[in-house]
Amino acid sequence: MSFAEQVQTDSCAFNALLWVVFSFGILKFVSFTLRYVSLIADLFFLPKTNFKKYGAKAGSYAVISGASDGIGKEYAGQLAQRGFNLVLISRTLSKLETLQKEFETKYKIQVRILAIDISQDVKENYIAIKEICSELPITVLINNVGRSHSIPVPFLETEEQEIRDIITINNTATLMITQIIAPMIVNTVKRGNKKHCGLILTMGSFGGLIPTPLLATYSGSKSFLQAWSNSLAGELKSSNIDVELVNSYLVTSAMSKIRRTSVMIPNPRQFVKATLNSVGTRGGSQNRFATMTPYWSHALYQFVISETIGVYSKLVNSINYSMHKSIRARALRKAARDAKKN
């Protein structure tokens, strides 16, 4: 082959490579643009979810765990407002009784209550749940019960009981309650109007989305729920049951220990309203099946991280570690001051 022919061959190969790179770049740009347009549509333009398809105002029941405070209480109130009867499960009977009286009077619905300590992984808890829900036309389950660490803590220093409580409440109890209630939802949908669907929402967390040093057990428990919930969504799709993991950044609550709202930190009412209005959309979870990040600032935050450095990157891990290390230091200083006062 002559020198001229070699040059021409190399030039053709280089041009072909350029076209491959250019085409790949166009594909990535189009893909990103479509995800961004979908994100904006999900958050700001698509119509609100019509809960009539889940049996609202048709005598159907919604079961809510961790229902007496915070986000769980808001789920209960906003589903009651939509016309669902309720089964409320939580630890404190007095709070449940107050909610039962309030909702039955205000919304003219039926409310059943069950006070159990879900951190106690005993058969009696699950027998009681099955008994109170037996024969009810249940179409909605909200897996809201959850627990985090009292303060950020290195895994090697985490107390055994705290580890066990987090796994029991976040994982074991959620799975066992779902295994009890999901067949009831399937049967209700089969017996009822074919236009009706079932719905299972499970509370996830950015702690599960992004590996979180100093909250390692909690982070792992929420990451587990992501994989489990997505798997369950695939299994129940043919039964006309919608299964969604609900991703949340910080919300003002007893668990987060945050009281003041901000652009990034809504209160439970704002968060639950965004969630229920957008069931069936993904918000910031554009690349995740059967997952939604409904609150607008959380969704934009997740989208930016996912589309740039990535949720599993070393940089994000390091930033997360530094943030929670600072939170731990402040919490320990506060505990020391309180100890001196006492």
Residue-wise burial string across 72-104, b where 16 or more C-beta atoms lie within 10 A, e elsewhere: bbbbbbbbbebbbbbbbbbbeeebbeebbeebe
Read off the DSSP letter of residue 42: I
- d(CA 233, CA 126) in angstroms, rounded, equals 23
When the pLDDT of each residue in the chain is averaged and rounded to a whole number, the result is 93
Residue 114 has a pLDDT of 98
- Judged against a pLDDT cut of 80, whether residue 11 lies above it is answered with no
Binding-site positions: 205
- Judged against a pLDDT cut of 50, whether residue 240 lies above it is answered with yes
Residue 324 has a pLDDT of 95
Phi, psi of 61, rounded to the nearest 5 degrees: -110, 145
- Judged against a pLDDT cut of 50, whether residue 3 lies above it is answered with no
Domains in the chain (CATH in brackets) are 44-335 (3.40.50.720)
Residue 342 has a pLDDT of 75
Residue 147 has a pLDDT of 95
- Judged against a pLDDT cut of 90, whether residue 30 lies above it is answered with no
pLDDT band at 7 (very low <50, low <70, confident <90, very high): very low
- d(CA 117, CA 147) in angstroms, rounded, equals 12
Report, as an integer, the average pLDDT of 67-73. 95
**High-pLDDT (> 90) share of the chain, %:** 85
- d(CA 186, CA 97) in angstroms, rounded, equals 29
Report, as an integer, the average pLDDT of 301-316. 95
pLDDT digits (tens, 9 = 90+) for 156-212: 999 999 999 999 999 999 999 999 999 999 999 998 766 789 999 999 999 999 999
pLDDT digits (tens, 9 = 90+) for 86-141: 999 999 999 999 999 999 999 999 999 999 999 999 999 999 999 999 999 999 99
Binding-site positions for substrate: 205
> Which active-site residues does the annotation give?
218
Amino acid of residue 258: I
